[in-house]
Amino acid sequence: MDALGKIYNVASIVTMNSNNKLNGITVAWITRVSIKPPMIAISIGKKRYSYTLLEETDKFGVCILSKEQKELAKFFGSKSGRNTNKFENIDYELTKNGIPKINGSVAFFECKIVNKADAGDHVIYIGEVINEELLKIEQPLLYGEHQLL
Ligand SMILES: Cc1cc2nc3c(=O)[nH]c(=O)nc-3n(C[C@H](O)[C@H](O)[C@H](O)COP(=O)(O)O)c2cc1C
């Protein structure tokens, strides 16, 4: 047990489409950062394939996961899009902007990247919410104490 493990977050899958290359990454380092306009910040490791793709595009999706999607969180958080098509057997649809939305999520946001900040071995992307959907009235999957809860 350590002090940083006490910072609890929602578990999400951040999705993207760069030149028709789809990918998704499990992200627990995510938070709201503005009310008006609504904005969400995500922290992405510089070694992730998703970082390479986010540098090539201007939008990302955020799927807030349900407690039934724990295995999905583990899958998107252990494989890399560099050598796996993570969407191959996934139930999803594309928004009109081509961003993947994973079915079964509790909520979905589509964000336009408006700013970014260097953060050690990660980069924080700040996205303005351009589309939001509440899909299920239930508590989402959480990440705290270094585990999915
Ligand atoms: C529960 C969980 C939370 C994670 N949170 C983050 C995160 O906030 N930021 C990040 O860069 N990686 C996070 N990861 C690790 C990435 O999801 C993982 O390295 C993934 O395989 C990267 O995929 P990619 O190479 O296709 O981008 C998390 C993994 C798990 C299992």
Please tell me the predicted confidence (pLDDT) of residue 1: 72
The full set of domain ranges for the chain reads 3-148
The average pLDDT across 13-36 equals 98
24 lines ligand 1 (CB under 6 A): no
29 lines ligand 1 (CB under 6 A): yes
Q: Has residue 30 got a pLDDT over 90? A: yes
Please tell me the predicted confidence (pLDDT) of residue 72: 98
Alpha-carbon distance of 112 to 120, in angstroms, equals 23
The average pLDDT across 123-146 equals 97
Q: What is the pLDDT of residues 55-84, one digit of tens each?
A: 999 999 999 999 999 999 999 999 999 999
Classify 83 as helix, strand or coil: coil
- Averaged pLDDT of the chain: 97
Residue nearest to atom 4 of ligand 1 (CA): 27
144 lines ligand 1 (CB under 6 A): no
* Domain range 3-148, CATH architecture: Roll (2.30)
The average pLDDT across 17-29 equals 98
The closest of 60, 43, 48, 51 to 143, measured between CA atoms, is 43
- pTM over 0.95? The answer is yes
The closest of 23, 1, 40 to 81, measured between CA atoms, is 23
Q: What are phi and psi of 14, to 5 degrees?
A: -90, 130
The average pLDDT across 40-50 equals 98
- Give percent of the chain above pLDDT 90: 99
The average pLDDT across 93-104 equals 98
The average pLDDT across 23-51 equals 98
